[in-house]
Amino acid sequence: MSRPGNTSHITDSTKKVGQTPLSREADSPDSSGAGHVTEVRSDRGQPRPSGFEIARMPSAAERTRTLVHSTCSAVLLVPGLAGARPEQLVADERRVGPDGDLFLTYPADSPAVRAATHAQDDEVPAVLELTDVAPVSVPHRIRGRAWVSGWLTLVPGRAGPGRMTLRLEVGEAYVDDLWGAQAVDPEDFALAAPDPLVRHEPELLQHLAAVHGEQMGLLRELVEREDVARATPLALDRFGLRVRFGRGDGHTFDARFDFPEPVTDITGLRRAMHRLFEAAAG
């Protein structure tokens, strides 16, 4: 368990998602027990975790499930539908069944439904591609992507009039995000739970950026850098808050602030954020 305001990981946010950084890890405990600082240096794109960040992170299966349950963009890629417009392949609704299958609802005349219908008894291979974009304005706004691939079949009678539900039986999955890139086993995907804050994260980050700019700025005191010009909340999960700091020279870096213990709801999050801001102001 870390004290409030523990800055456990700092990464250069010029690292692209999908690339592996050269990293330098530094054990930097201070006299107040702030713990370790891990830095990752690279030339461009999104940051990557290293060292101690691995100890306090959701699993790849949990991160993939979180993206599926979130409001992020998701396009169903089906062979032979090259002429379909991207918006026609975005499900109106997506859910995960108890066995880990994905249930996607479309208009009955959508290209995806037609493809599954024409296949008759054959299963149609398909990939659900999810793209996670930060809900606040920051450099490098794409926070990650995930791909869930499997076989598509019709599920008659599950949707309302004029609509059809498709089931995607998961064969494999892969996530490439701020935490790293990793394959996901279908069984792990089925058993994983989404982050409890997933449905609230966009509005919470927007609220922090719009209303609590002064408190966010205080967090620069916890990263112990003098060249910080701005601080923008980038990602939030049950383990902590990730902030993207802008430097005076235009470059950026990320830092994660661990909560003393994982939060399970908004009430717990309010307490954790209050303690974090108190530590920054202290």
Q: What is the pLDDT of residues 109-134, one digit of tens each?
A: 999 999 998 876 678 999 999 999 99
Residue 250 has pLDDT above 90, yes or no: no
Predicted structure pTM score = 0.82
- DSSP states of 121-163: TSPEEEEEEEEEE-SS--SS-EEEEEEEEEEEEEETTSS-TTE
User: Looking at the 3D structure of the chain, how many domains does it have?
Assistant: 2
Domain final position from 141, 162, 191: 191
Same domain, yes or no, for 161 and 215? no
Q: Are residues 81 and 96 in the same domain?
A: yes
Per-residue pLDDT at 282? 77
DSSP H/E element including 214:
helix 213-218
pLDDT confidence tier of residue 169, bands split at 50, 70 and 90: very high
The helix (run of H) or strand (run of E) holding residue 213 is: helix 213-218
Amino acid, single-letter form, for residue 224: E
Residue 1: inside a domain:
no
CATH number at residue 107: 2.30.110.10
pLDDT tens for 213-243 read: 999 999 988 887 778 889 999 999 999 999 9
Give the confidence band of 31 by pLDDT, cuts at 50, 70, 90: very low
Interval 192-209: pLDDT, tens: 999 999 999 999 999 999
* 94: in domain: yes
Assess contact for 112 and 81: CB atoms under 8 A.
yes
The pLDDT, as a whole number, for residue 13 is 54
Range(s) of the domain holding residue 101: 60-191
| HEC secondary structure over 95-107 | EECCCCCEEEEEE
Residue 2 within any structural domain of the chain: no
